Amino acid sequence: MASGTTCIILAAGKGSRMHSATHKVLHHVAGRSLLDHVLATTEAIGADQVVVVVGAQRSQVEHAIRGRSNVTIAHQAEQLGTGHAVLAARDALKFSSGETIIMYGDVPFVSGNTITRLRADAASCSGVAILGFDAEDPGQYGRIIATGVGTVERIVEYRDATSQERAIKFCNSGIIAASTPILFELLSQVTNDNAAGEFYLTDIVGLARSSGIEARATIASENEVLGVNSRLDLAAAEAAFQQRIRGNFMADGVTLQAPKSVHFCYDTVIAADVIIEPNVVFGPGVVIQAGARIRAFSHLEGCVVGAGAVIGPYARLRPGANIGVDAKIGNFVEIKNASLGPGAKANHLSYVGDATVGQGANIGAGTITCNYDGYFKHQTHIGEGAFIGSNSALVAPVDVGDNAIVAAGSTITQSVDAGSLALTRAE
């Protein structure tokens, strides 16, 4: 039998409280689906194999993870509890003598460091490790019954708990690590003799203790094990992520003038000494280099902003925008799949798409690059030091040479030589 680390991600539930045609684990927090957050953690810990257990709306989940080489699908035809869901993954396992970590597709924020601690605890006791947390409001979480030295005696689900057990605030996240043979041996003994009539994964703890197998608790913060079961939970998860990443950026030397009004994505990269004004939104794939300033009400996605550049206010940078050092993009300017060289300017009311703009060039107000002919996209090239007058239309494909001037109000359909003046006027 092969050894290795397997992560089983449970994603079979209906998610009925979301009231959505979209599967619960495919809803997004910080620009990334809940499931992708969890998959990123499995990558961070170097999992050899990932098995995603699907059930309701299975085709959506299968489509979302298609093409991932180390991810396998397992199907839970009937949703009969978490223990039953894990058993559904057994036939898909390749690493049957290694370790298995049970995770959840709707618990997006558990870090690789925390999972590493959980694995270490399971290995050190040659048994089972449970990820627990101290809940401010325990609600209907399962309670961990543990001794003072961290040994878990059992886990009791809320509906099966006594009033004394419900008073306990040390709760079960549901995330478990164990050796694969031990895990499935214990699961084979689980019954559905409980208030819900389900096969509880958590019953393996009591069964382990009865068999002389140790179970330990690894502690995580409550925010890290936040689960998403409703739109309210989704909003809470988004708020928790944003609060954490804002704090991280400010600690690293980024100025946020109104932190609560700025919305970041999971992969936003910002260097020190960047200033971000209020009401800025970052989509996926944004890199901001040192000393840049992002002014109010701007929206950025899939772009790079060079050191010292100024963006906005009310600017939109779309995927493929590459803004050079000390360049300026002003109010109501949209840039898409275009590179602006160092010191270039587009200060007002312009659209620059599928283009290159040379160093020090100036794009006047109301200028557009007409990049689409109804069938294909075409390129516009504007040279270094060129001046494009206000209210000009550059009909691609077209080149404007270095230090050329396009007079205001011109529609340019032919290339303009370097150093020359282009002027068009309708009669």
- Contact between residue 272 and residue 254 where contact means Cβ atoms under 8 Å apart: yes
Query: Is 19 annotated in the active site?
Result: no
Tokens 């939104």 belong to residue: 281
* Collapsed DSSP state (helix, strand, coil) of residue 203: helix
Report the sign of the C-alpha dihedral through residues 7, 13, 19, 22, in that order.
positive
Computed on alpha carbons and rounded to an integer, the radius of gyration of the chain in Å comes to: 28
State the Cα–Cα distance between residues 425 and 62, nearest whole angstrom: 57
Helical segments of 274-344, H only: none
- Contact between residue 26 and residue 64 where contact means Cβ atoms under 8 Å apart: yes
- In 111-220, at which residue ranges do the beta strands (DSSP E only) sit? 128-134, 143-146, 152-156, 170-179, 215-219
- Contacts of 387 by beta carbon, 8 Å cutoff, 6+ apart: 361, 362, 364, 404, 405, 406
Question: Quick one: which H or E segment has residue 184?
Answer: helix 180-187
- In 17-142, at which residue ranges do the beta strands (DSSP E only) sit? 28-29, 32-33, 49-54, 71-75, 99-104, 128-134
The amino acid present at 74, given as its one-letter code, is: A
Catalytic, out of 28, 75, 348, 378: 348
**Which neighbouring-strand residues pair with 28?**
33
Which positions are catalytic?
Answer: 348
